[in-house]
Amino acid sequence: MNNTTPKTKPIWILPAVFMILLIGIIAIANVGLGSTVFAFLEYIPGGDKTGHFILIGMLSFLVNLSMGAKTTPWKSITVLKGSLIVFIVVFAEECSQIFLKYRGFDLIDLLADTAGICVFGSLAKVLVHHNLSNAKNSE
């Protein structure tokens, strides 16, 4: 019987591939092709905001999962490191849109991103802790 504590191995391929997909989506929007390429979003209730919630949330899920849902203290709370990293990158990207011809800063987009980061980050934390708990119980 193995008495060592199970360790989660970082799996960076999934968040890296997903980030490349997101960079492609951002590039399409930045050159003004977003309304053409993503026209189908008009038929989805809250299409653009739903997309922000799901896509950025999924990135948060994958990053937190690959980091083993590690946390860090911030003021009086504890936050997921992966969620914090994703939020900083997303905040910078959203703010950069102020300077782009075909884009514009949208606070509601940022709120949808933040909600996705929190919800999907929390799901990753639950999954990691559930898997660690099961691994300890099976020893």
Q: For residue 64, is it within any domain?
A: yes
CA 91 to chain centre: 12
Report how many domains make up the chain: 1
Residue that the structure tokens 């989506």 belong to: 25
How far apart (Å, rounded) are the C-alpha atoms in residues 133 and 42?
43
Q: What is the pLDDT along the chain (139 residues), one digit of tens a residue?
A: 455 555 555 588 999 999 999 999 999 999 988 888 888 888 888 888 999 999 999 999 999 999 999 999 989 999 999 999 999 999 999 999 999 988 999 999 999 999 999 999 999 999 998 877 766 666 6
Q: For residue 3, is it within any domain?
A: no
Say if residues 90 and 78 touch (Cβ distance below 8 Å): no
Q: For residue 89, is it within any domain?
A: yes
The range of the structural domain enclosing residue 63 comes to 13-137
Q: List CB contacts of 108: < 8 A, sequence separation 6 or more.
A: 49
